[in-house]
Amino acid sequence: MTNTLNRQHAVYVGSFDPPTLGHLDIVGRGAEIYSKITVGVGINPDKKPLFSAEERLQMLEELLSAFPNVEVKSFKGLAVNFVRECGGGVMLRGLRTLTDVEAEFTMSLANRTLASDIETVFLMASEKYTHISSSLIKQIAQLGGDVAAEKLKDFVPQRVVAPLIEKFDLKNSQ
């Protein structure tokens, strides 16, 4: 475990199920601010994600390969512990709506209590991504029919469209 935390190393954690254009926007903008970004794919054994941790990790590695200062890892447990293990001094978070602000504020207070030496920094979502949520994306993939693939391009990277539709095709055929 690293004892010295680097304030130029930000860690962006989430489930990324699936990775969205909003996620990529936050990472890209963060990569311009910080010398290093670690994207942490959270594994919660109590949740049943659409994509496995390995699939999410692989997609994000491909999607973020253009950023030389970004790495992708998976983790279990508390996000602040993962940030510390990475040596990061900053937890990067994205905000879309006022609902996010309330939830993130509560979480950041808890994280501050757990790890007062890790700073939480918020980036506002770009306006064109504020409406994107994983539940909306999954609904479009599941119920969008023949136009789902075309419509999903407004929400997720092209690399994610086919695997997303395939997941729901498999579920619907069972």
Q: Which residues are catalytic?
A: 23, 47, 96, 134
List, in order, residues 6 or more apart from 53 with CB less than 8 Å away: 41, 43, 74
d(CA 70, CA 61): 9
E strand residue ranges, 104-153: 119-124
Please enumerate, as own/partner, the contacts of 147-151 that have beta carbons within 8 Å and a separation of 24 or more: none
d(CA 115, CA 88): 12
E strand residue ranges, the chain: 6-14, 36-43, 70-76, 88-95, 119-124
Angle value at C-alpha 168, between 17 and 103, nearest 5 degrees? 30
Local structure of 104: helix, strand or coil: helix
